[in-house]
Amino acid sequence: DAGVIQSPRHEVTEMGQEVTLRCKPISGHDYLFWYRQTMMRGLELLIYFNNNVPIDDSGMPEDRFSAKMPNASFSTLKIQPSEPRDSAVYFCASSRRGGNTEAFFGQGTRLTVV
């Protein structure tokens, strides 16, 4: 299995632009997580899905952030409009049965908003 696949690996964009991050979870995993990591705040859970349904989006910072999972093999995290404070590494992770099982992470998308 190729593992969790994220794209792009790096994204540099100007403030105000729309940014879309993509994730393909491991086949057969029912849970998908989106995380953001910064030096100041560490790893933060933004949202997670179970069987393509958003379960907890309380970590989404504000309305500029949205996430979708149209099918079991694809998810997007969108930021519109982007701001410099959104600069971070965004990780997607998937797991077979949720919180008490191993989460497998993608390599992350390093987002820089200038």
Q: Which residues bind other proteins (CB under 8 A)?
A: 33, 42-45, 56, 91, 98-100, 102-103, 105-108
Quote the least distance from Cβ 80 to other proteins, whole Å: 25
Tokens of 113: 């908003």
Quote the least distance from Cβ 87 to other proteins, whole Å: 15
Report the C-alpha gap between 86 and 15 in whole angstroms: 10
Residue 107: closest CA among 14, 12, 22: 22
Quote the least distance from Cβ 98 to other proteins, whole Å: 7
Of 15 and 43, CB closest to other proteins: 43
Report the C-alpha gap between 4 and 73 in whole angstroms: 10
Of 45 and 72, CB closest to other proteins: 45
Tokens of 111: 């987002």
